[in-house]
């Protein structure tokens, strides 16, 4: 990606997000869509989704299985499903390709198509300095100091008002972090808990950000954002990952996502 212009950098610093249209070509978006189709066609549905549970003890085991599956997904390609897509015996109630809410959390490391996008020269952007250096949603991925992680959100398909585009409160990245999700003790269910609480937000402050496929949205880790339910007949696929300025930054050991011996956080510049 070319250097951000002074006006783009100023807008990002002012709003906490920035829309960069035409970041990926239509062909690159299609390649990601096709690869996701292949991955979903070959997926192994986790046991805690497939097993029929009847007793309270079995239900607790299911909850523990779900927690462990999530907390250990940082260095693997795993599948997280929409609600209500399985019957009580774990059979699909909808086509499998429509059942997946998210695939995470190591596509960027293990899949060649997504790895090539993640490490593309387009993404290897210059540092912006201090507050706007790469960082993610700080409630879930906390660093000291704050402001060292940058979210990268790429529209693989058009994101519209109807199918769940992003909404932001411009300028809301300057008020700190109101809550944090932290890991619980090993073996606990649900495995994470929240410190603090999310304050009530004035819905009129949110600004919709519909974009065409191939658009990249830079997201400051402290900017307040959301997406609404997809009420359309069309999917809204997106690829998202996060960058951290490693120098001088402490990654909180309480974050749910932790690097492993098998997969340390990979450097962007390889």
Q: What angle do CA 103, 221, 80 make, to 5 degrees?
A: 15
Phi-psi region of 196 (alpha: psi -120 to 50; beta: other; left: phi over 0): left
Alpha carbon distances (Å) from 160 to 80, 212, 214: 23, 8, 13
pLDDT per residue, tens digit, the chain (270 aa), is: 557 899 999 999 999 999 999 999 999 999 999 999 999 999 988 888 876 666 777 777 777 788 898 899 999 999 988 888 888 888 899 888 888 889 989 999 999 999 999 998 888 754 332 222 222 378 988 999 998 988 999 999 999 999 989 999 999 999 888 888 899 888 788 889 988 888 888 889 999 999 999 999 999 999 988 888 888 888 889 999 989 999 999 999 999 999 999 999 999 875
Domain ranges of the chain: 6-251
CB 137 within 8 A of CB 173: no
Name the DSSP letter for residue 253.
T
Is 149 in contact with 268 (CB distance < 8 Å)?
no
Task: With CA atoms as reference, report the closest residue to 140 among 188, 167, 105.
Answer: 105
**Non-local CB neighbours of 258 within 8 Å, separated by 6+ positions:** 74
**pLDDT for 10:** 96
| 19 CB neighbour count, 10 Å cutoff | 20
> 2-5: which pairs have CB atoms within 8 A and are 24 or more residues apart?
3/125, 3/126, 4/125, 4/126, 4/128
As a whole number of angstroms, the distance between CA 192 and CA 84 comes to 23
User: Considering the entire predicted model, what is its pTM?
Assistant: 0.88
CATH topology for 6-251? Jelly Rolls (2.60.120)
């Amino acid at each position: 990606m070319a250097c951000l212009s002074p006006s783009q950098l100023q807008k990002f610093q002012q709003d906490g997000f920035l829309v960069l249209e035409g970041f990926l070509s239509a062909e690159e978006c299609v390649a990601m869509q096709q690869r996701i189709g292949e991955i979903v066609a070959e997926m192994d549905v986790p046991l805690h989704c497939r097993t029929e549970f009847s007793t309270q003890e079995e239900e607790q085991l299911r909850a523990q299985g779900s927690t462990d599956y999530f907390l250990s997904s940082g260095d693997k390609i795993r599948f997280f499903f929409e609600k209500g897509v399985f019957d009580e015996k774990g059979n699909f109630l909808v086509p499998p390709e429509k059942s997946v809410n998210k695939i995470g959390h190591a596509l960027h490391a293990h899949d060649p198509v997504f790895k090539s996008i993640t490490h593309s020269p387009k993404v290897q952007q210059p540092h912006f300095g201090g507050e706007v250096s790469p960082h993610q949603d700080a409630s879930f991925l906390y660093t000291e100091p704050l402001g060292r992680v940058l979210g990268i959100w790429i529209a693989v398909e058009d994101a519209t008002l109807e199918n769940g585009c992003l909404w932001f409160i411009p300028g809301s990245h300057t008020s700190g972090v109101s809550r944090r999700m932290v890991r619980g003790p090993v073996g606990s269910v649900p495995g994470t808990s929240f410190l603090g609480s999310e304050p009530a937000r004035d819905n009129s402050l949110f600004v919709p950000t519909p974009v065409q496929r191939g658009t990249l949205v830079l997201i400051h880790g402290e900017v307040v954002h959301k997406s609404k339910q997809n009420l359309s007949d069309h999917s809204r696929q997106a690829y998202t990952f996060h960058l951290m300025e490693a120098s001088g930054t402490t990654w909180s050991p309480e974050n749910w996502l932790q690097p492993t011996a098998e997969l340390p956080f990979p450097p962007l510049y390889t």
